[in-house]
């Protein structure tokens, strides 16, 4: 019953073994490229967004982000919540941030009229410089000047999006400041309070939240906004390795934190457009790689067809001496499988031993993210399956076309 | 009951509108153990006749009975199975598979019959030893001479002990010495009761057989014992 498989495999093995090494190598090379096209193109497109998502988590939200309830300007019972978080064994680091909105003015000394003042509105953030840096590594994004120190007073870090030099796209709704350098004095306004401060450094990151904020040391900022109750605007929490953020979130909600604040995992806190773009790019990637798959199928079809056509006489002889059509078809199916399997194996080695580590070490410098290559094993396995099945079909069809021809015509080379 | 019974066999080839009738109503019978040479000038229809009897081609009309079985009622799969188990073929151009060694070429039909590789190889080796190629088992066809290739082809045709051996101009591409060797091989297997239907245009070799059927213009013009 299964001898057609055994003999088909036997014939395929001999044919592959004794085929031209160049031809076999070329077919496997095409299959490898197809596999990489299937995995790498969507992987980079998804990785482009994944880079933004992971940067958002790494440098802003951390694993858990606790923020204000709707219509509230601060998180009530912040010190209590902070204590709860710090007492939980899963917590690795915590950074509470005071939040307020305000305005930064640049040329207020030279301007003769109020309208001539160069100003930009921005979220103001009061941070514990050491705690925040431990959690998000923000000091690494200071591209000019220096990072804040705990004792700094009347000194700020400016997000690069607030400066024309770094963000030369000024619109009415998003004004930027001209000619502001590190060491310059600027005037900040929070409600009625105005204060002259020095720009200690510029923060530039591909995470938007970091680049359009103005940073103060928390001790001074608390006084400026009058938050003597120590209630902050947001708290980022880094969890220990292996802790599921969802489990931690549930634990916080069970302890009543939800009454005073919104508790989100980093995934919940992702901007919606990132999620949408991620899905869109995944779809786009799949569409592009589908074209690659079609090209590969046609390639295999042509290769097997030419192979079968040039071997038509031998297919005829096989049929003539009593070898069944499905044995001959099986031999071509095995050959197709061999090419697809070899291409996939080499592709996997290139992908996981070279490309993925390479892109992790050297992310692609996209304007809004550091793109990595996202190739999870389960989706790669599905793509291998698709490639193998497509290749087998592409190999089977031409083999069947030739096998179905008249035996004697094939032996004698008659049309 | 004859081994082969052919009645009013007609074969027509079509080329667009043009029809060429190659066989024009042949009646023929072959008994078990006979060695029959089919002769005739080029274009007489002798190879076509043999291909039809050996189920490699389809007749336009007429009947072919092999071992009393009407071949017209067989489907393609049954014919393939019949060729595998009951018939053996020796072609003019040897028809060996270039990717397979002599041993593998002979073993393939045996494996198709369901034999395991080791068993098929054992029988194939025995068959190749009979035709004098015991030392050339692992050579590819391209590494064998014409005579050796034809002997490999004979070994393949006989390995599964067919009831009828069909040979289409088996010596046409061989030198005299190799042709003699092939004929002696045929003689030996025939002595053991093998039925042979051989197409040839060389009278020298038709003399090895017992009966000579001569075709001309798609008809049998003589059917007599070999002189």
Q: Is the pLDDT of residue A397 over 70?
A: yes
Q: Is the pLDDT of residue A78 over 90?
A: yes
pLDDT of residue A172: 67
Judge contact between B43 and B84, C-beta under 8 A: no
- Interchain pair B99, A10: CB under 8 A: no
Give me chain A's average pLDDT, please. 88
Which residues of chain A are within 8 Å of residue B76 when distances are taken between CB atoms?
325
Q: Minimal Cα distance from A320: which residue of B?
A: B56
Q: Return the structure tokens found at B141.
A: 């066809």
Closest residue in A to B158 (Cα–Cα):
A321
- What local confidence, expressed as pLDDT, does residue A1 receive? 58
pTM above 0.95, yes or no: no
What CA–CA distance (Å, rounded) separates B226 from B213?
9
Q: Contacts of residue B99 in chain A, CB cutoff 8 Å? A: 11, 14-15, 17-19
**What pLDDT band is residue A123 in, cutting at 50, 70 and 90?**
very high
Query: Which chain A residue lies closest to B77 (C-alpha atoms)?
Result: A324
For the stretch A129-141, pLDDT in tens is 999 999 999 999 9
Q: Which domain holds residue B183?
A: 4-225
Question: Total domain count for chain B?
Answer: 1
pLDDT in tens, A301-341: 887 788 778 888 889 999 999 999 999 999 999 998 999 89
Q: Which residues of A touch B (CB under 8 A)?
A: 3, 6-7, 10-11, 14-15, 17-19, 314, 317-325, 327, 406-408, 411
Q: Is the confidence at residue A221, as pLDDT, over 90?
A: yes
Q: What is the pLDDT at residue A273? A: 78
Average pLDDT over residues A242-267: 93
Range list of H helices, chain B: 46-53, 76-86, 102-112, 117-130, 146-159, 176-191, 203-206
pLDDT for the residue A97: 95
- pLDDT at res. A44: 85
A383 pLDDT above the threshold of 90: no
Which residue of chain B comes nearest to A14, CA vs CA?
Answer: B99
- Between residues A364 and A171, which one has the greater pLDDT? A364
Q: What was the pLDDT predicted at B85? A: 93
Q: Which residue in chain B is spatially nearest to A313 when comparing CA positions?
A: B95
Check CB contact under 8 Å for A323 and B84. Answer: yes
In this predicted structure, the answer to whether residue A143 has a pLDDT above a threshold of 80 is yes
For A301, phi then psi, to 5°, come to -55, -50
pLDDT level of residue A248 (50, 70, 90 thresholds): very high
Which chain B positions have a beta carbon within 8 Å of A324's beta carbon?
Answer: 77, 80-81, 112
What is the per-residue pLDDT for B136?
A: 93
Q: Mutate which of B97, B114, B127, B166 to test chain A, going by most A C-beta atoms within 10 A? A: B97
Q: Is the pLDDT of residue A4 over 80?
A: yes
Distance from CA of B227 to the nearest CA of A (A): 32
Q: Does the beta-carbon distance from A322 to B83 stay under 8 Å?
A: yes
Give per-residue pLDDT as tens, B122-162.
999 999 998 889 999 999 999 999 989 999 999 999 899 89
B83, B104, B117 ranked by CB distance to A321: nearest: B83
Question: What residues in A contact B111, CB-CB < 8 Å?
Answer: 3, 6-7, 10
Comparing alpha-carbon positions, the chain B residue that sits nearest to A321 is B84
pLDDT confidence bin for A368, thresholds 50/70/90: confident
Mutation choice for B interface testing from A314, A320, A332, A335 by most B CBs within 10 A = A320
For residue B80, the chain A residues in CB contact (below 8 A) are: 319, 322-325
Binned at pLDDT 50, 70 and 90, residue A281 comes out as confident
Name the B residues in 99-118 with CB < 8 Å from any A CB.
99-100, 104, 108-109, 111-114, 117
Mutation pick from B20, B75, B80 vs chain A, by most beta carbons of A within 10 Å, is B80
Task: Tell me whether B56 touches chain A (CB under 8 Å).
Answer: yes
Q: Which two tokens stand for residue B132?
A: 């004098």
Percent of chain A with pLDDT over 70: 99
Residue B206 is given by DSSP the state: H
Report the distance separating Cα B93 and Cα B96, nearest Å. Answer: 8
Nearest CA in chain B to A403: B76
User: Rounded distance, CA A129 to CA A140, Å?
Assistant: 12
Give the CATH number for residue B220: 3.40.50.300
Task: Answer yes or no: do B81 and A322 touch at CB < 8 A.
Answer: yes
Cβ <8 Å between B109 and A14:
no
> Is the per-residue pLDDT at A8 higher than 70?
yes
Instruction: Report the gap between the CA of A377 and the closest CA in chain B (Å).
Output: 38
Residue with more model confidence, A179 or A147: A147
Q: Among A7, A15, A411, select the one facing B95 at the smallest CB separation.
A: A411
Q: Between the ranges A45-49, A222-226, A366-370, where is the mean pLDDT highest?
A: A222-226
Q: Which is nearest to A8 in space by CA: A327, A404, A318? A: A327
| pLDDT score at B93 | 87
Q: Which residues of B touch A18 (CB under 8 A)?
A: 98-99, 140
ipTM: 0.90
Q: Residue A170's pLDDT is what?
A: 64
pLDDT of residue A153: 93
Contact check, Cβ <8 Å, B111/A318: no
Among B111, B198, B107, B97, which residue's Cα sits nearest to residue B159? B107
Residue from A322, A326, A408 whose CB has the most chain B CBs within 10 Å, to mutate = A322
Whether the per-residue pLDDT at A65 is higher than 70: the answer is yes
Residue pLDDT tens, chain B, 227 long: 889 999 999 999 988 888 899 999 999 999 999 999 999 988 899 999 999 999 999 999 999 999 999 998 899 889 999 999 999 999 888 889 998 999 999 999 999 999 999 999 999 999 999 888 999 999 999 999 998 999 999 999 989 989 999 999 888 888 888 888 889 999 999 999 999 999 998 888 888 899 999 999 999 999 998 87
Q: Which of B57, B108, B140 sits opposite A323 (nearest CB)?
A: B108
pLDDT at position A276 is 84
Task: Return the number of CB contacts < 8 Å for A and B.
Answer: 76
Contact A397, A76 (CB under 8 A): no
């Amino acid at each position: 019953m299964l001898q057609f498989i055994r003999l088909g495999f036997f014939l395929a093995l001999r044919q592959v073994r004794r085929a031209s090494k160049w031809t076999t190598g070329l077919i496997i090379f095409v299959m490898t490229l197809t596999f990489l096209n299937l995995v790498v193109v969507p992987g980079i497109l998804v990785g482009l967004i994944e880079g933004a998502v992971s940067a958002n988590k790494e440098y802003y939200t951390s694993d858990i982000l606790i923020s204000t309830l709707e219509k509230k300007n601060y998180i009530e019972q912040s010190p209590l919540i902070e204590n709860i978080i710090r007492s939980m064994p899963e917590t690795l680091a915590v950074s509470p941030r005071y939040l307020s909105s305000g305005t930064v003015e640049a040329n207020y000394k030279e301007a003769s009229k109020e309208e001539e003042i160069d100003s930009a509105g921005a979220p103001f953030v009061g941070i514990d410089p050491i705690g925040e840096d431990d959690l998000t590594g923000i000091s690494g994004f200071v591209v000019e000047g220096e990072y804040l120190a705990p004792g700094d007073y009347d000194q700020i870090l400016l997000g690069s999006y607030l400066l024309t030099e770094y963000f030369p796209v000024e619109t009415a709704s998003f004004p930027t400041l001209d000619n502001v350098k590190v060491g310059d004095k600027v005037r900040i306004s929070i409600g009625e309070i105005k204060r002259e401060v020095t720009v200690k450094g510029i923060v530039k990151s591909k995470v938007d939240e970091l680049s359009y904020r103005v940073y103060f040391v928390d001790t001074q900022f608390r006084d400026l906004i009058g938050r003597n109750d120590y209630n902050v605007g947001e708290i980022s929490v880094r969890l220990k390795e292996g802790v599921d953020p969802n489990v931690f979130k549930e634990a916080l909600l069970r302890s009543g934190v939800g009454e005073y604040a919104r508790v989100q995992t980093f995934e919940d806190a992702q901007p919606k457009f990132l999620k949408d773009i991620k899905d869109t790019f995944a779809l786009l990637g799949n569409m592009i790689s589908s074209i690659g798959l079609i090209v590969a199928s046609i390639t295999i079809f042509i290769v097997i067809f030419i192979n079968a056509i040039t071997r038509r006489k031998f297919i005829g002889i096989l049929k003539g001496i009593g070898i069944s059509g499905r044995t001959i078809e099986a031999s071509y199916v095995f050959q197709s499988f061999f090419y697809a399997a070899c291409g996939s194996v080499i592709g996997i080695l290139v992908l996981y031993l070279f490309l993925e580590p390479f892109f992790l070490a050297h992310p692609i410098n996209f304007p809004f993210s550091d793109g990595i290559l996202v190739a999870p094993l389960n989706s790669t396995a599905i793509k291998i399956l698709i490639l193998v099945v497509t290749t087998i079909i592409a190999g089977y069809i031409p083999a069947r076309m030739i096998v179905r021809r008249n035996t004697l015509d094939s032996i004698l080379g008659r049309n | 009951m004859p081994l082969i019974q052919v009645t009013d066999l007609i074969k027509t080839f079509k080329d667009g509108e043009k029809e060429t009738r190659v066989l024009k109503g042949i009646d023929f019978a072959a008994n078990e153990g006979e060695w029959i040479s089919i002769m005739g000038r080029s274009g007489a229809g002798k190879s076509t006749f043999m291909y039809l009897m050996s189920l490699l081609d389809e007749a336009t009309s007429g009947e072919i009975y092999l071992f009393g079985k009407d071949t017209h009622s067989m489907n393609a799969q049954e014919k393939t199975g019949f060729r595998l188990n009951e018939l053996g073929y020796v072609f003019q151009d040897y028809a060996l598979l270039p990717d397979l060694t002599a041993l593998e070429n002979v073993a393939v039909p045996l494996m198709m019959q369901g034999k395991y590789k080791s068993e098929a190889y054992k029988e194939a080796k025995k068959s190749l030893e009979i035709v004098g190629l015991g030392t050339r088992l692992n050579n590819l066809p391209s590494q064998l001479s014409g005579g050796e290739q034809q002997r490999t082809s004979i070994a393949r045709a006989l390995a599964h002990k067919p009831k009828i051996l069909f040979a289409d101009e088996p010596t046409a591409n061989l030198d005299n010495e190799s042709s003699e060797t092939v004929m002696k091989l045929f003689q030996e297997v025939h002595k053991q009761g093998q039925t042979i239907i051989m197409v040839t245009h060389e009278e020298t070799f038709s003399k090895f057989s017992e009966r000579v059927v001569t075709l001309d213009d798609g008809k049998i013009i003589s059917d007599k014992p070999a002189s």
